[in-house]
A and B are shown apart, each in its own frame.
Chain A
Amino acid sequence: MTPRERIKNAMHFKKVDAIPWVELFYEETTLKWFQQGLPADKITVVDWMMNDGYGSFILNWPIVKGFDVNSYFGCGNLGTCPVPVDVGPIPRFKQRKIGEDSKYQEYIMETGARAKRFKSGEYIWYAMPMYTQFPVQDKKSWEEYKKRLDPEDRRRYPKDWEKDAYLKIFEEHQDGNTLISTTGFYGFGAQLMGIVNFNLALYRDPGLIQDMVEYWEYFTIETLRDAVETLKDHIDLVFWWEDLAEKHGPNISPKLYKEYLLPHYKEVTGFFKRNKIDRIMMDSDGNTEPILDLVIEAGITGHWPLEVNAGMDVRTLSKRYGNKLFLAGNLDKREIAKGGEPMRKEIDSKLLVMKETGGYIAGLDHLVPVELTLERFKEYATYLKERLVVE
């Protein structure tokens, strides 16, 4: 079985020769591991591209594109061949520094939010900035923001986007899983308004929320339409970023989910399903259990990363939802970081059950954190790979 077949089968509750293993890495984790001995030359990806460092030359030039840490450890990647559609604001807000003192710098971010971050330190972006202002506060600022969310803007697709040519490339060269990314409405609203203001607006300004969610539905479908209709036979998964919960439970109640999200989610997932794409995975931290029935009714068919600290457990969820929801992640990063017996127990106790149920992609219960040392990760990777095989 190829890695792609293995992941596709797992997502569809079909037989696998081994449970697929997928991780997502913070770049700062990788950088920290370089200091701990990860061989940079083995994972740095250099590609020959047209150099645009000083404008564009007709000149092929080696460019460092990033790090392929997944291949090095032998773990999969859900999006080896992502579909390159831009669902962000266009034009982007120009990210720029607008102030600083001895300790902090303040920025306008690409989404239009203002944020303060540490000027220096061991971790800068991993520590995440503190948002001090969001681009949408009311109807007026929303109307203004909408102008940057035009689905017809040609810049949403690559400069060389041409349907037949892309289709041919996928037909001839697709060698890994293809995903298309989108933002769920809760994630969309919380990014534009901030969590507190967005949650308050659900009660205090239902007219604004209604308008936003209707526009979100239109924007999502129309932005992705060309790519989805062209590449539908090649797209394995929709990665639905949401982040709508915290440790205690979902930020949005089942009542509000049903009222605002459900009808529009059904339209968007229906659009994917009419195009034969029926694996749609919600990315949300926290405890999502109280709304999972509604999430499934909305047409979502998978869930990652299933944070253990928030009480999520693949064994319980697979029992409750069967093949209605494939599951990914849920190996407790805190236990894995301990190594030895706690690490082995965490892996064995979950794999034992999930090998029986199917519909599972193994991995940590979030991106690989910076606190996990290279040595511990190697120990985890070695042990996990031995255990993934299905007899």
Chain B
Amino acid sequence: MADVLDEISSSIGGLRGAEEVRHLVNAALSQGIPVPDIVDKGLRSGLQQVGAKYEGGEYFLAELLFAASIVDETMQILRPRIEGQAILKKGRILLGTVRGDMHDIGKNIFRMIADAAGFPVEDLGVDVEPEVFLEQSKLTKPHIVGLSCLLTTALSEIGVVVGEFEKSGTRNNVRILVGGNAVTKEFGQQVGADEAALNAVEGVDYCRGAIKE
């Protein structure tokens, strides 16, 4: 059992292509391996390998996106078999680009990686008003609120959103993760975010850690 799961993981980690992963997943299914194991110990473990290689400077954006797309494609096949099982519910993320900023590339890359890593992501889009983050958070109760910002002219909006959560007394109910080209670690601390991620992989790693706690 472990062999085929390791092979799935290393096939994704080695970017050997969607066809090989599909073949290995079918082999795992025919061996009777439970789907949650295939997802966690195969697909997502492979994606973590890719993330580690990205952090280590061996892989870059193209590799990251390709791996996430393989996982996503494979999940389309597996999803009907596991609908409603705990494996799909790692912890929810509410995501958006802050008011005054219409950039969506970084946000969308994070969403792809987070989704492939098993986090259901509710994406509010771009140029999101601070109160929309708060209202939606009250409704859907995410574990993590992700705020993206590329423009330095819109950076202060991150502080406004954090302030909204504080004023409403719900700040401690969520973890606030900030990211985007304009964001630095120091800035994250200044505005009272729980974490400032400098790239998508770092952001997803933070989510993994935060959900475990």
Report which A residues bind B (CB closer than 8 A). Answer: 103, 116-118, 121-123, 126-130, 195-196, 199-200, 202-204, 246-253, 256, 290, 309, 369-371
- For A246, list chain B residues within 8 Å (CB): 61, 106, 181, 199
- For A122, list chain B residues within 8 Å (CB): 153
In the assembled complex, the Cα of A37 lies from the Cα of B153 at a distance in Å of: 21
- For A127, list chain B residues within 8 Å (CB): 100-102, 151, 153-154
- For B103, list chain A residues within 8 Å (CB): 128, 130
Are the CB atoms of B60 and A250 closer together than 8 Å? yes
- For B108, list chain A residues within 8 Å (CB): 196
Q: A246-B181, A251-B60 are in contact. Are A126 and B153 (CB under 8 A)?
A: yes
User: Nearest chain-B residue to A129 (Cβ)?
Assistant: B102
In the complex, B169 has a CB within 8 A of chain A: no
In-complex Cβ contact of B62 among A252, A369, A371 (8 A):
A252
Are the CB atoms of B60 and A118 closer together than 8 Å? no
In the complex, B82 has a CB within 8 A of chain A: no
Are the CB atoms of A249 and B57 closer together than 8 Å? yes
8 closest pairs, A vs B, by CB?
A130-B102, A199-B62, A248-B199, A203-B66, A251-B61, A253-B60, A202-B62, A199-B65
- For B61, list chain A residues within 8 Å (CB): 195, 199, 246, 250-252
Are the CB atoms of B60 and A249 closer together than 8 Å? yes
User: Nearest chain-A residue to B57 (Cβ)?
Assistant: A290
In the assembled complex, the Cα of A305 lies from the Cα of B59 at a distance in Å of: 24
Are the CB atoms of A196 and B153 closer together than 8 Å? no
Q: A117-B102, A196-B105, A203-B66 are in contact. Are A247 and B199 (CB under 8 A)?
A: yes
Are the CB atoms of B60 and A247 closer together than 8 Å? no
Against A, the Cβ 8 Å flags (1 = close, 0 = not) of B58-77 are 01111101100100000000
- For B59, list chain A residues within 8 Å (CB): 253
User: Nearest chain-B residue to A202 (Cβ)?
Assistant: B62
In the assembled complex, the Cα of A370 lies from the Cα of B63 at a distance in Å of: 35
In-complex Cβ contact of A121 among B62, B100, B104 (8 A):
B100
Q: A196-B108, A247-B181 are in contact. Are A252 and B100 (CB under 8 A)?
A: no
In the complex, B8 has a CB within 8 A of chain A: no
In-complex Cβ contact of A116 among B63, B102, B112 (8 A):
B102
In the complex, B152 has a CB within 8 A of chain A: yes
User: Nearest chain-A residue to B109 (Cβ)?
Assistant: A196
User: Nearest chain-B residue to A248 (Cβ)?
Assistant: B199
With A127-B100, A253-B63 already in contact, 5 other A-B pairs whose C-beta atoms are closer than 8 Å: A247-B198, A248-B198, A249-B57, A250-B60, A369-B152
In the complex, B33 has a CB within 8 A of chain A: no
In the assembled complex, the Cα of A126 lies from the Cα of B15 at a distance in Å of: 38
In the assembled complex, the Cα of A116 lies from the Cα of B103 at a distance in Å of: 10
Q: A127-B101, A130-B104, A309-B184 are in contact. Are A200 and B153 (CB under 8 A)?
A: no
In the complex, B94 has a CB within 8 A of chain A: no
In the assembled complex, the Cα of A199 lies from the Cα of B65 at a distance in Å of: 7
User: Nearest chain-A residue to B105 (Cβ)?
Assistant: A195
Are the CB atoms of B153 and A256 closer together than 8 Å? no
Q: List 20 A-B contacts (CB under 8 A).
A: A103-B127, A116-B102, A117-B102, A126-B153, A127-B153, A130-B104, A130-B126, A196-B112, A203-B63, A246-B106, A246-B199, A247-B198, A247-B199, A248-B54, A248-B199, A250-B60, A253-B62, A290-B60, A309-B181, A309-B184
Against A, the Cβ 8 Å flags (1 = close, 0 = not) of B85-122 are 00000000000000011111110110010000000000
User: Nearest chain-B residue to A333 (Cβ)?
Assistant: B152
Of residues 184 to 213 in B, which have CB atoms within 8 Å of A's CB atoms? 184, 198-199
User: Nearest chain-B residue to A126 (Cβ)?
Assistant: B153
In the assembled complex, the Cα of A128 lies from the Cα of B100 at a distance in Å of: 11
- For A199, list chain B residues within 8 Å (CB): 61-62, 65-66
In the assembled complex, the Cα of A246 lies from the Cα of B104 at a distance in Å of: 14
Are the CB atoms of A251 and B62 closer together than 8 Å? yes
Are the CB atoms of A128 and B62 closer together than 8 Å? no
Are the CB atoms of A204 and B66 closer together than 8 Å? yes
In the assembled complex, the Cα of A130 lies from the Cα of B181 at a distance in Å of: 16
In the assembled complex, the Cα of A196 lies from the Cα of B109 at a distance in Å of: 8
User: Nearest chain-B residue to A130 (Cβ)?
Assistant: B102
- For B63, list chain A residues within 8 Å (CB): 203, 253
In the assembled complex, the Cα of A200 lies from the Cα of B64 at a distance in Å of: 9
User: Nearest chain-A residue to B61 (Cβ)?
Assistant: A251
Q: A126-B153, A127-B153, A370-B153 are in contact. Are A252 and B102 (CB under 8 A)?
A: no
In the assembled complex, the Cα of A127 lies from the Cα of B153 at a distance in Å of: 8
- For A196, list chain B residues within 8 Å (CB): 65, 105, 108-109, 112
In the assembled complex, the Cα of A121 lies from the Cα of B105 at a distance in Å of: 22
User: Nearest chain-B residue to A118 (Cβ)?
Assistant: B102
